Amino acid sequence: MQNAVSSILREMTSVTKAETEKRENRLIKYLRESRAEMRKVTWPTREEALNLTAIVLVVTVVMSLFLWGLDVVFDSVMLRLIG
């Protein structure tokens, strides 16, 4: 019985080592491919990034004000209908 248990444990250990090596190899491959892809990226200039950020902020403020206005209108309509 003890021999069977020890042989099973040895088998599990060898499988675990093989799986660990396979995972490490996949991780290394992934990191290498990621690095290669990052080198291909065309990054925006500082000016482009600032312009795009400003556009996002302006659109966010405008949409917030629009939704706030709709909320006020619907609130007043509901108050007149209900109360």
Co-location of 6 and 35 in the same domain: yes
Q: What does the pLDDT average to over 57-77?
A: 98
* C-alpha–C-alpha distance, residues 53 and 46, integer Å: 11
Co-location of 23 and 2 in the same domain: yes
Co-location of 26 and 50 in the same domain: no
Co-location of 52 and 75 in the same domain: yes
Q: How confident is the model at residue 75 (pLDDT cuts 50, 70, 90)?
A: very high
Co-location of 63 and 34 in the same domain: no
Is residue 8's pLDDT more than 90? no
* C-alpha–C-alpha distance, residues 77 and 83, integer Å: 10
Co-location of 1 and 36 in the same domain: yes
Structural domain span for residue 9:
1-41
Q: What does the pLDDT average to over 39-66?
A: 97
Co-location of 57 and 82 in the same domain: yes
Contact 52, 44 (CB under 8 A): yes
Number of domains composing the chain = 2
